Structure 1
Amino acid sequence: MADGAERPLRADARRNREKILTTAARLFSEQGLDAQMERIAKEAGVGSATLYRNFPTREALVEAVYRNELAHLCAAAPALLAGRNSPTEALRAWTRLFLDYVTAKYGMIDALRAIAATGGNPYSQSREMIRAAITTLMDACAAAGEIRTDIGPADIAAALEGIALTSAGAEHRRQAERLLDLTLDGLAVRR
């Protein structure tokens, strides 16, 4: 296009791209960088040419998976608020999604570091996006009188990052959930 804008994908191309991203996220989470591009294509139900047309390099795929997972995580906040009985339940559910996001990212960490080392910035705006999602959830909880107002989104983001750093990986999931519960229980308004 003349103005440099990308042409929107056809519906089938968009579905294929989403299948690739979903499959790659799962396989990177399970196998780290040992996940083979051909296996990702096969399990996504697309040909290798389709995979490479969308993501010409492993690094391009890793960065797209990371950004896709981040977008899904942040977009979940309003949806959870709309579908839960209380904002606190939505916040608790979102923190579990945050663990899923971190676990997926953990399998890709070496590739993300390599991208950053070559001058790419897969993390640009991720901190701001996550804080915005937390703010949305905490504002709803505070408006409902369910959480303390002396603790801000930056504090919760730091707590989540700390839990994620010490408990990343599927083998530590139960401990991470206990730590999340402890953190969220500390937010509750004492009646």
Structure 2
Amino acid sequence: MSHQLPEPIPAESPAAHGTARALRADARRNRERVLRTAQQLFAQEGLGVSLDEIARRAGVGPGTVHRHFPSKEALYLAVSIDQLERLVAEAAALAAGGDPAAVFTLLSRMMADGAENSTVKSALTAAEFDLRTAAPEVATDLTGYVTELLDRARTAGLVRDDVTADEVMALVAGAFAAIRHADAHADPARAARIGGIILDGIRPRSR
């Protein structure tokens, strides 16, 4: 009895495309798993965690991590961009809602995320990476949503008439430094308190 080998699947066949899509989806899931694990480990244990340890904790092979992120700096940048993208998604959901105070929700979230990932942001700053340059579209989208939500809050009388989106973004950046200076980046309640004090500055002045 002859044993025929199965014919190879043509490169353009639906089956080949289905296999390629499955591989891409699997690679995407692995990458996301590595990013989430890296973010947690950097926040909990600092930047000294090795790429191999991140791979082990993420449940993937070391080659998977090194293939996506050839250096620690590349991983720092990817973690920060991923964080920005998730903030943009949250901002879009808030903008789609009708809460006039949603800008405070978004800014508080931005401060909390920044405090949690302050070590990564410090590493990027030391390496002279600027997220606004590395991911300009994402940064622009986030600023756009802050502007939209700020205008909504201003119309409702919830923020000062003279505050601008650029000033608000500067306050958020300053909040990271304030939280870190107070050594509160590992204490969510204290970090939130400091953030709240900063956000009080954009509320209308009492008469």
Q: TM-score, normalised by structure 2?
A: 0.72
Instruction: State whether residues 28 and 108 of structure 1, in contact with CA within 8 Å, keep that contact through their aligned partners in structure 2.
Output: yes
Letter in 1 for 2:158: E
Question: Which of residues 108, 119, 131 is equivalent to 1:107?
Answer: 119
Question: Which of residues 89, 99, 107 is equivalent to 1:75?
Answer: 89
1:182 and 2:194 equivalent? Answer: no
Instruction: State whether residues 100 and 152 of structure 2, in contact with CA within 8 Å, keep that contact through their aligned partners in structure 1.
Output: yes
Residue correspondences, number? 180
Instruction: State whether residues 87 and 137 of structure 1, in contact with CA within 8 Å, keep that contact through their aligned partners in structure 2.
Output: yes
* 1:25 alignment counterpart: 39
* 1:14 alignment counterpart: 28
Residues 184 and 30 (structure 1 numbering): CA distance in 2 closer, same or farther, change over 3 Å?
same
Which of the pair has more CA radius of gyration?
Answer: 2
Instruction: State whether residues 95 and 145 of structure 2, in contact with CA within 8 Å, keep that contact through their aligned partners in structure 1.
Output: no
Task: For residue 34 of structure 1, give the secondary structure of its aligned residue in structure 2.
Answer: coil
Structure 2 runs not aligned, ≥5 long? 1-19
Q: Following the alignment from structure 1 to structure 2, what is the Cα–Cα distance between the partners of residues 111 and 180?
A: 22
Aligned-pair CA distance for 1:140:
2.5
More displaced 10-residue stretch of structure 1: 22-31 or 142-151: 142-151
Q: Following the alignment from structure 2 to structure 1, what is the Cα–Cα distance between the partners of residues 170 and 121?
A: 19
* 2:4 alignment counterpart: none
Taking the TM superposition and a 5 Å limit, the aligned residue runs for 1:87-102 are 87-88=100-101, 90-102=102-114
Residues 185 and 98 (structure 1 numbering): CA distance in 2 closer, same or farther, change over 3 Å?
same
Q: Following the alignment from structure 2 to structure 1, what is the Cα–Cα distance between the partners of residues 99 and 132?
A: 31
Aligned-pair CA distance for 1:65:
0.9
1:59 and 2:65 equivalent? Answer: no
Q: Following the alignment from structure 1 to structure 2, what is the Cα–Cα distance between the partners of residues 87 and 43?
A: 41
1:35 and 2:34 equivalent? Answer: no
Residues 71 and 44 (structure 1 numbering): CA distance in 2 closer, same or farther, change over 3 Å?
same
Taking the TM superposition and a 5 Å limit, the aligned residue runs for 1:123-134 are 123-124=132-133, 125=136, 128=140, 130-134=142-146
Q: Following the alignment from structure 2 to structure 1, what is the Cα–Cα distance between the partners of residues 170 and 105?
A: 18
Task: For residue 177 of structure 1, give the secondary structure of its aligned residue in structure 2.
Answer: helix
Residues 63 and 144 (structure 1 numbering): CA distance in 2 closer, same or farther, change over 3 Å?
same
* 2:99 alignment counterpart: 86
> What do you get for the CA RMSD once the two structures are aligned?
2.9
Task: For residue 56 of structure 1, give the secondary structure of its aligned residue in structure 2.
Answer: coil
Instruction: State whether residues 115 and 122 of structure 1, in contact with CA within 8 Å, keep that contact through their aligned partners in structure 2.
Output: no
Structure 1 runs not aligned, ≥5 long? 1-6
Q: TM-score, normalised by structure 1?
A: 0.77
Taking the TM superposition and a 5 Å limit, the aligned residue runs for 1:38-49 are 38-49=52-63
